[in-house]
Structure 1
């Protein structure tokens, strides 16, 4: 039961991040950033479906990696600049993106830990 609730929370965070990045895609940032926002939105949706439907460690790792890479890219953009973009932490999309990506990171770690714990318990029998 807890596993399903956690999967739903992680999938919702992935969809939330995908939605934010789709919104940013529609804003028409200059350069390569615009297509990367669309790629991020598609990746978030695909991972959300995988987290809900595939009971394997790869979707959990994907959610963790998605959160780390997306949050890391934003931190770079907000500090030293990334791919020609300099952001400030001052808008709703930025707030929601950081929240959803942190949930992806923590949830991905939790899903991996639960899977590892179940594997250890099965092996001990």
Structure 2
């Protein structure tokens, strides 16, 4: 179960990275464009870490990535963020919200599984 969950989280991270790279290639005014590239690189690095390193840090990274990225988009779609005002009306936005929600839920699940395993081994 743990391997399957790590694969799902890694795929979600890669999906979010691909969406952010697509948005980077579109070009936006101001600071937003380089931040999209930073998200694309970060998602790729975290996906590799989630698959290769069985530690709590990549799971926490996936959770943080999802929370911060989805939070930034929510700000942009409501009050504006860094000069960017979005509307929830395009495929990249739909898929971005889905992949980032999976990162959040999957990161929490990975951390919970790790904590449960640690508690179980300590009780023995």
The normalised TM-score by structure 1 is 0.99
The aligned residue for residue 87 of structure 2 is 88
1:40 aligns with 2:46: no
- Give the 5 Å matches for 1:3-14: 3-14=2-13
Taking only aligned residues, the RMSD between alpha carbons, in angstroms, comes to 0.2
The aligned residue for residue 66 of structure 1 is 65
| Deviation (angstroms), 1:107 | 0.1
User: 2-side partners of 1:100 and 1:17: how far apart?
Assistant: 6
The aligned residue for residue 98 of structure 2 is 99
Where do 5+ consecutive residues of structure 2 fail to align? Answer: none
Where do 5+ consecutive residues of structure 1 fail to align? Answer: none
The aligned residue for residue 111 of structure 1 is 110
User: 2-side partners of 1:55 and 1:28: how far apart?
Assistant: 36
The normalised TM-score by structure 2 is 1.00
| Structure 1 moving runs of 4+ over 6 Å | none
